Structure 1
Amino acid sequence: MVIRKYRKGEELELMEIFISSVHKNAKPYYNEKQLVAWAPSDMDFDLWVTRIGGINPFVAIDNGVILGYADLQDNGYIDHFFVRGGQSNKGIGKALMTHIIHQAQIRGIPELTSDVSLAAEGFFEKFGFCIIKKKRVLIRGVELHNALMRRQLVD
């Protein structure tokens, strides 16, 4: 598996990963109404392209196929962290998180934070993240639960 920066033109594939990740990987944690609000099938592609360009994520590729993506902002915030639906527990997330932690250390970022779904809390905890605050958020008028999580990299 190779981890590299995303390239312009990969936005549609990243959108497909996002939607499949939410609808398959998070399905045990959220009801159908919540999943559709979080990742609707009719997402605005132009807004998505702008969003992906703004977060400039890393992608995990195996045999020429993008299997997941995640970003690291300059302030240590991880905005997106998604693995293709049905591809959980295959080392993709681990490879991405290991890469993000390494990049943060290289950049001298003292801590990582992320608003993490119920589906991802356990995964983030395995990498030393702790829950700072449980939250309820409104997405397209539908309430979802998540948590702000943090991992200190520098004491």
Structure 2
Amino acid sequence: MNQINIRTYQNSDASPLWQLKFNTIRRINSRDYQPDQVQAWAPEHISAELWQKRADAMAPFIAEINGEIVGFADLQADGYIDHFFCHAEHQGQGVGKALMDHIFTAGKEAGIARLYANVSITARPFFEHFGFRVLKQQQAEINGRVLTNFLMEHHIG
């Protein structure tokens, strides 16, 4: 198995991160969502400037194998995980585990006792595996479409 390295975000990562997110939603999350929902969540055209600002603001952790970006996840100061994506071709290879372990460590170091996220149907079993529990099922509107997701939390204190 290849070594997974976790590094800090750089501004030049924004475009590859969008491609990773887009491809993962289109190829993996499409198992659990309707085509119109997938297209709303990962539209063909987005504002590169707006995505750059969003990526810069969330400053995610980057997972790499041999220099290739294979996943990313962020941890906000209040414990919110806004994005957590693993490359469609690297599912089940430990990328998500490496990112989650990194989030747990970073959270503890920052004194964050509670992690929480709005988790897709697809990612729910993964988050449950790491001790997250569902607080509520909810309906989120994204680009005019409604998608089911789950507000989940985990106490790491």
Shorter-normalised TM range: over 0.9
Name the aligned partner's letter for residue 107 of structure 2: A
Question: How many residue pairs were aligned?
Answer: 154
Q: Give the TM-score normalised by the residue count of structure 1.
A: 0.97
Name the aligned partner's letter for residue 95 of structure 1: A
Name the aligned partner's letter for residue 2 of structure 1: N
Report what 2:56 is aligned to.
Answer: 53
The answer on whether the counterparts of 1:137 and 1:145 sit within 8 Å (CA) in structure 2 is: yes
Alignment of 1:139 onto 2:135: no
Superposed displacement of residue 71, structure 1: 0.2
Supply the distance in 2 between the matched residues of 1:63 and 1:86 (Cα, whole angstroms).
Answer: 14
Greater helix percent: which structure?
2
Post-superposition CA distance 1:4-49 (Å, at most 9, x none): 1111111110010110111111111001111000010101110000
**Identical counterparts, % of pairs:** 38
Report what 2:33 is aligned to.
Answer: 30
Supply the distance in 1 between the matched residues of 2:66 and 2:113 (Cα, whole angstroms).
Answer: 34
Q: Which stretches of structure 1, 4 residues or more, deviate above 3 A after TM superposition?
A: none
2:132 is matched with which residue: 123, 126, 129?
129
Report what 2:21 is aligned to.
Answer: 18
The answer on whether the counterparts of 1:34 and 1:144 sit within 8 Å (CA) in structure 2 is: yes
Point out where structure 2 has 5 or more consecutive residues left out of the alignment. Answer: none
Supply the distance in 1 between the matched residues of 2:62 and 2:42 (Cα, whole angstroms).
Answer: 19
Supply the distance in 1 between the matched residues of 2:17 and 2:118 (Cα, whole angstroms).
Answer: 19
What secondary structure, in the 3-state scheme, does the structure 2 residue paired with 1:9 have?
A: helix
Supply the distance in 2 between the matched residues of 1:7 and 1:153 (Cα, whole angstroms).
Answer: 27
Name the aligned partner's letter for residue 29 of structure 2: A
The answer on whether the counterparts of 1:24 and 1:86 sit within 8 Å (CA) in structure 2 is: no
Alignment of 1:9 onto 2:12: yes
2:70 is matched with which residue: 60, 67, 72?
67
1:94 is matched with which residue: 97, 122, 135?
97
What secondary structure, in the 3-state scheme, does the structure 2 residue paired with 1:73 have?
A: coil
Supply the distance in 2 between the matched residues of 1:147 and 1:84 (Cα, whole angstroms).
Answer: 21
What secondary structure, in the 3-state scheme, does the structure 1 residue paired with 2:71 have?
A: strand
Name the aligned partner's letter for residue 142 of structure 1: R
- The farther-off stretch of 84-93 and 140-149 is 84-93
Name the aligned partner's letter for residue 72 of structure 2: Y
What secondary structure, in the 3-state scheme, does the structure 1 residue paired with 2:109 have?
A: helix
Post-superposition CA distance 1:110-151 (Å, at most 9, x none): 110000000000000000000001000111111100000000
